[in-house]
Structure 1
Amino acid sequence: MWGMAVVVYMAAVFHRGSLGVASLEATNRFGVGPAALGTFTVLQLLVYAAMQVPTGLLVDRFGPRKILTAAAVLMGLGQVLFAVATSYPLGLLARAVLGFGDAMTFISLLRLASAHFPARRYSLVVSITAALGGLGNLVATVPLTLLLGKIGWVPTFLITGVVTACYALVASRLKDTPTGPAPRAERVHVREVARSVRTAWRVPATRLGFWVHFGTMAAPAVMTLLWGFPYLVAGRGLSHEVASSVLGVMVLVTIVSGPMIGALIGPRPEVRMLLVAGFLVFQVAVWTVLLLWDGMPVALLTVAFGLLSLGLPLSAIGFSIARDYNPLHRVGTASGVVNVGGFFATTLSALGIGLLLGWTGSYRIALLVPAVLILIGFWRTGVWWRRARAEVFAAEARGEEVPVRIRPRRWDADPVVIV
């Protein structure tokens, strides 16, 4: 059941990243500049982010099987529409439909996995799921580049859209739980939804998960989804094949490192934030080098992009933190809140790069946008890490049981200021 559902998620990641290597062709096809090109991805990501909490409610109401089936149909229709679109407004509509379908996949898959696997294996399953999703991203690099060059825009996207829509027949055979359909939740009023989101947001671990997702995911995601390929070709002077290979290395690192990270943090959840903190420091250094060193050799550039992609599997740590510190009936809502963090940051980054690139024509200036977001994520993650630790110590002092026991550090004794 999990494998059948993962294929839908792989298709979602493929369609999400398909514009990355087709961005230059899209510029010519729709006759648009960098800012308008960025709007394709921005719109899709905005729809994705806005749909996270509603998707959680839909999954609770109808079960993951029906939602994953609908997701496959919507993604297929969106890609078919994108294949035949020749006007910019129609292209935007196609990407919005894709965004709706994409938004329904991951939360549904998490819900299905939680029903089919024991809790102690949840972190590993999520990490492997994200890694397998990376296979879809891998197909959206070199193979998609070759296919576009050989058969062209319309056949390429038409074939991928039809295949995805047809897979809905397979997805319809999923089981919500090992015993059959999931129990249907009652209808929820808007006020109750808002109250549930506010309650989840007040939990320090949920905010920590949000900012972990925000800080680790945005930079590598915006490069693989849209701006990495144009940056490497137009900004660094690489050929199309070499540029797609560099992006392919990013995807391969994501695939390989995801299960390794999941296996590491599964039995040792106390190391999760240490890994995140180390990556955030490293990410600042890598982005600084990318901004300042114009003549970086291709080999070093490939290594830098590959290591930067570690942020994608590390972003899944935000979900496991939120799951540990929220009651089971609110885990879906908390997971949706966390998922908004990374995609909101990616949306801002994609839009900002497009606007600055259109105004200045300089990739160095345009890439200052993700640099600023990296620093914001670094700062806010640090603030809420300390706050979440303080809550754990306070719970222990009250004699309450905590999901993960952590050792006090010297900096835990300092007052925590929340802003």
Structure 2
Amino acid sequence: MPASNPSLSSSSMSFVAFRVLLPFACGYFMSYLFRSVNAVIAPNLQRDLGIGAGDLGTLTAAYFVTFSLFQLPLGILLDRFGPRRVQACLLLSAALGAVVFAIGSGLTHLVIGRALVGLGVAGGLMSAMKAIALWLPKERWALANGVFMTAGGLGALAATLPVELALEHYHWTALFWGLAALTVIASALIFFVVPEREAAPTASVSLGQQLRECGKFLTDARFWRIAPVSMMGMASGMSIQGLWAGPYLRDVGGLDRAATAQVLFIVAAALTAGFTLTGIAADRLQRRGVPLGRTMVWGVVFYAGVLAVLAGGWTPTNPLLWIAFGILSNTTVLAYPILSGQFTPEQAGRVNTLLNGVVFGFTFFAQAGMGWLIALWPRGGNGNYPLQAYQWTFGLAMLLLLLALAWYLAPRRKA
């Protein structure tokens, strides 16, 4: 059976949607829920652990360390064994990490639990992208990726008001016991519902040859042309949405916990819509002759403008500003179909996981670094950090994003 079938019927498309993408979407839902939940429980963690912005950033960013380090072996595993078995097994590590996080008695234990969660959800997006590359024709990848990533937005939604409401009745440790149970269910759905695709040609390729090909990807100019803009766009978006938006709204916007959770819910809703809208817009523009790269560039430009407004501290609680942030912050996700379209479907798992690895590895430094940079300013009498701390932090993120965009555009001008 070929890796992708451009003549899929409507019934076949429905089969792929419900038997393939939907179970993987459950895993990606959990990935984003775990990634974003600390933005709401941050005050609880700071109170119970007695930590400041620096330690909070490092604790939350531990998720990205194991997530990024596992991307290279993840790509090899996906190409050799397929996304179904790999993702079902990995999610069990996330469930274990949630349990360790729930029973942990100190900062070190929680960091270990958070790291196990990061390892367990490391394949949330890449396994689905591999499945999309196997089951759908290339011209449908951008749309399928965008629609699939809506599940991540729903996970981010679940990490806002629902979590805040749960914390009114349960301790945050009980919340993580529930997340562990949901993760086990997601693992079972993928393993028992998703059909096995016939073995890909790479199953007969030696491990050494696969590793050598990965080395070639890392020295490929096509990879490093697009990697920096993807790193800066997604790292800044995930760092702010997954953690620092909450403290910013409390410190700069003066919102209480309930109002902060409401704005974070708006951000997550816009993020969810943004995934779908980006996929649909890119798909339609591509059909009209507009390349994915051009769509991504304009999205990055508008996102940089949003970062500038956040850094300036102008209307920090304006819902329209946060809606724009949610829609535009993941524009650089288009880098994945752009990059994978330049390689064969059999290589898609490895090249995308390599990109994912450098993106999430940088996100660790971005999220933790934002915390340590904010902590350079002393807290006020009410325990809040001043506006200047966020101006420098978000302003630096905007500057680095624009530099990365200039790097992406430079080869095109030279050509």
Question: Normalized against structure 1, the TM-score is what?
Answer: 0.85
Partner of 1:258: 275
Question: Which piece of structure 1 moves more, 12-21 or 214-223?
Answer: 214-223
Partner of 1:44: 63
Distance 1:177 1:382 in 2: 42
The residue aligned with 1:375 is 399
Structure 2 equivalent of residue 282 of structure 1: 302
Give distance in 2, aligned partners of 1:92 and 1:339: 21
* Map 1:136-147 → 2, pairs under 5 A: 136-147=155-166
Distance 1:16 1:200 in 2: 28
The offset of 1:136, in angstroms, is 0.7
Instruction: Report the Cα distance in structure 2 between the residues aligned to 1:241 and 1:108, rounded to whole angstroms.
Output: 35
Residue of structure 2 aligned with 1:329, choices 320, 342, 346: 346
SS across alignment from 1:359: coil
Q: CA deviation at 1:219?
A: 2.4
Counterpart for residue 401 of structure 1: none
Question: For structure 1, which segment, 195-204 or 46-55, has the greater mean C-alpha deviation from structure 2 after superposition?
Answer: 195-204
Distance 1:312 1:96 in 2: 24
Preserved contact between residue 126 and residue 349 of structure 2 (Cα < 8 Å): yes
The 5-angstrom pairing of residues 149-188 of structure 1 reads 149-175=168-194, 177=196, 185-186=203-204, 188=206
Letter in 1 for 2:157: L
Question: 2:387, 2:112 → 1: CA distance?
Answer: 28
Q: 1:108 to 1:203 in 2, by over 3 A?
A: same
Residue 114 of structure 2 aligns with an amino acid whose one-letter code is: R
Q: Which of residues 263, 273, 286 is equivalent to 2:293?
A: 273
C-alpha contact 1:210 1:340 (8 A) present in aligned 2: no
Report deviation, 1:100.
Answer: 0.4
Report the Cα distance in structure 2 between the residues aligned to 1:234 and 1:91, rounded to whole angstroms: 25
Q: Secondary structure at the match of 2:121?
A: helix
Match of 2:324 in 1: 307
CA offset at residue 257 of structure 1? 2.7
2:10 aligns with none
**Counterparts of 2:59 and 2:251 in 1: how far apart (Å)?**
19
Structure 1's consecutive aligned runs of 4 or more residues displaced over 4 angstroms after TM superposition are 180-184, 186-190
Identity of aligned residues (%): 20
In structure 2, stretches of 5+ residues that fail to align are 1-19, 379-385
Aligned to 2:335, which of 275, 295, 318? 318
CA–CA separation in structure 2 for the residues paired with 1:337 and 1:378? 23
Alignment equivalent of 1:196, drawn from 189, 193, 213: 213
The code of the aligned residue for 2:302 comes to F
User: What is the Cα deviation at residue 71 of structure 1?
Assistant: 2.2
Shift of 1:46: 1.7
Cα deviation for residue 35 of structure 1 reads 0.9
Q: In 2 relative to 1, CA 228–21 (structure 1 residues): closer, same or farther, beyond 3 Å?
A: same
Return the letter of the residue paired with 1:289: V
The answer to whether the 8 A contact 2:84-2:196 is kept is no
Q: Work out which of the residue numbers 28, 32, 35 in structure 2 matches 1:13.
A: 32
Structure 1 distance, partners of 2:183, 2:323, is 29
State the TM-score, normalizing by the size of structure 2: 0.85
SS in 2 for 1:185: helix
Report deviation, 1:168. Answer: 2.3
Q: In the aligned structure 2, how far is the partner of 1:170 from the partner of 1:53? A: 25
- CA offset at residue 82 of structure 1? 0.8
- The aligned residue for residue 245 of structure 1 is 262
Describe the SS at the equivalent of 1:151: coil
- C-alpha distance in 1 between matches for 2:167 and 2:153: 20
Residue number in structure 2 paired with 1:32: 51
Aligned-pair CA distance for 1:290 = 2.2
- For residues 266 and 104 of structure 2, what CA distance do their matches in structure 1 show? 31
The aligned amino acid for 1:288 is A
Aligned residues: 386
Structure 1 343/374 Cα, relative in aligned 2: closer, same or farther at 3 Å? farther
Q: After superposing the two structures, state which structure 1 stretch, 76-85 or 354-363, moved more.
A: 354-363
Q: Give the Cα separation in 1 of the matches to 2:48 and 2:162.
A: 20
Contact 2:269–2:326, Cα closer than 8 Å, also in 1:
no
Q: Distance in 2 between matches of 1:380 and 1:159?
A: 40
Deviation at 1:215, TM superposition (A): 3.1
1:108 and 2:115 correspond: no
User: What is the CA-CA distance between 1:62 and the residue it aligns to?
Assistant: 2.1
Relative to structure 1, the CA distance from residue 18 to residue 242 in structure 2 (aligned partners, 3 Å threshold; closer, same or farther) is same
Q: CA offsets per residue over residues 171-228 of structure 1, 9 Å max, x none?
A: 21144545x56677257546x4553234223444322331232232222211221111
* Higher deviation after alignment, 258-267 or 144-153: 258-267
Q: Does 1:120 find its partner at 2:100? A: no
Displacement after TM superposition at 1:292 (Å): 2.5
Residues 310/247 of structure 1: CA separation in 2 closer, same or farther (3 Å cut): same
Q: In the alignment, which residue of structure 2 is the partner of 1:227?
A: 244
* CA distances 1:66-85 after superposition (whole Å, capped 9, x unpaired): 11111221111111211121
Q: Say if 1:258 and 1:313, in contact at 8 Å, map to a contact too.
A: yes
Unaligned runs of 5+ in 1: 390-411
Partner Cα distance (2:169, 2:252) in 1: 25
Residue identity opposite 2:103 in structure 1: V
Change in 2 beyond 3 A, CA 1:367/1:99: farther
Q: Deviations over 1:151-181 (max 9, x none)?
A: 1212211112122123322221144545x56
Verify: 1:210 aligned to 2:234, yes or no: no
Q: Distance in 1 between matches of 2:205 and 2:61?
A: 31
